[in-house]
A and B are shown apart, each in its own frame.
Chain A
Amino acid sequence: MERIDAEAELTRLRDAIDRVDDVLVKLLNQRAKYAIEIGEIKGHLALPIYAPEREKEVLAHVETTSQGPLAGGAVRRLFERIIDESRRVERESATR
């Protein structure tokens, strides 16, 4: 590949990543909205925010859903961060 072509390809791929990120952020916010609603219900029912069994289910679910190239462990680590943030928004909405 010529240098010029390679640089154009790099720009195209970076644009593609930006578009995926746009969708990812929308989806993460959609997920957070559900978490907020769950937090409100947990607050109403006086249930603990931290539900380890449910977190395990979520992690197992995404790990098996992934078809690569991300390995199961990589997906799990990414979702641990998503769950950390979900726990935080749930707590905020539960105490509101």
Chain B
Amino acid sequence: MVIVMEKHATDDAIERVVAVLSSRGFDVHRSTGSEQTVLGIVGRVDTIDTREFELYDGVQEVVRVSEPFKLTSRTWRREKTIVKARGVDIGGEQVVVMAGPCTIESETQLFETAKRVARSGARVLRGGAYKPRTSPYAFQGMGVEGLKLLRAAGDEFDMATISEVMEISQIEKMLEYVDILQVGARNMQNFNLLAALGQIRKPILLKRGMAATIQEWLLAAEYIMAGGNYEIILCERGIRTFETYTRNTLDISAIPVVEKLSHLPIIADPSHAVGRRDKVMPLARAIVAAGGDGLLIEVHHEPEKAVCDGPQSLYPDQFARLMDELKIIVPAVGRRI
């Protein structure tokens, strides 16, 4: 950590900062310039709240040099993590596409959609059984009955399954039916849920909160890893910006940024990011081109009849066309699909 003192900060001001740090056992390297003094702090600086020192007289800036996240960091593990879910490797050479309906509505809907996306090359079947709906009056999901259907459809079409977990009490039931547990954007900082997911040994897909910085997102993953569960897939799904034409703004730059900062696989969800079917395909192409390890896409066999997120769900034919396009793009970035 580096503390930059203001130009012409008094000796008293500098000494006060050095005294506090020294009394707490930190080594301080003082460097006096012609106008400005800089203090280099060595030790367990992650225990320091930088705001405390920003408030001292004469302090201009406190800069953290090291990242606050540890287990999620590339410094901790240089090689990329490959998450394994029922024979599907996420984070390896292959780009993995996860697809399916937003919400599991019925056996017909789920199986019809699963059959079509599996035929086009999706390896993981998505489907919500517990739904975090913005309105309490909207359909809240089929619950365990939905999970059973998801498992059956996954087995039928040889796909791994993914579904969202909303609270701790649902975890145990989900382990029976689901291969990847998804933490939604609204729960990204539900630290009790994250800690509980750290105790299980199943892959977690952690969506980025709609107002979360990349650092906050990685710290959320850190909560899960701190419990000993290292099987985490990060998923960018768009952040809130001032733009209203799209539902959210897909932060495509998060993909190369996370790739550099962390060893965890990173995928993206163009459906929630843009919220409009006609914009999903170009974003999906961009995600893969930017180095994403996979995609999470909403597909419904009859989107106009969907109880949830119909307007952003692709028709199965559109999904098939997208997969054909990806087969051209993916080899160009040195991966396979």
Contacts and interface: CB of A to CB of B under 8 A. Distances in A.
Interface of A: 48-50, 52, 56, 73, 76-77, 80-81, 83-84, 87-88, 91
User: Which residue, of B15, B22, B32, has the highest number of chain A Cβ atoms within 10 A?
Assistant: B22
B34 interface: yes
Interface in B16-55: 18-19, 22-23, 25, 27-32, 34
A87 B32 contact: no
Interface of B: 11, 15, 18-19, 22-23, 25, 27-32, 34
A84 B27 contact: yes
B32 A49 contact: no
Contacts of B27: 84, 87-88, 91
Given A50-B18, A56-B11, A84-B28, A73 B23 contact: no
13 contacts: A48-B22, A49-B22, A50-B18, A50-B22, A52-B15, A52-B18, A77-B32, A80-B31, A80-B32, A84-B27, A84-B28, A87-B22, A91-B27
Nearest to B14: A52
A73 B37 CA distance: 13
Contacts of A56: 11
Contacts of A48: 19, 22-23
Nearest to A88: B27
A76 B22 contact: no
B30 A80 contact: yes
Nearest to B20: A50
Contact of B31 (A50, A77, A88): A77
Contacts of A87: 22, 27-28
Nearest to B12: A52
B32 A91 contact: no
A81 B27 CA distance: 11
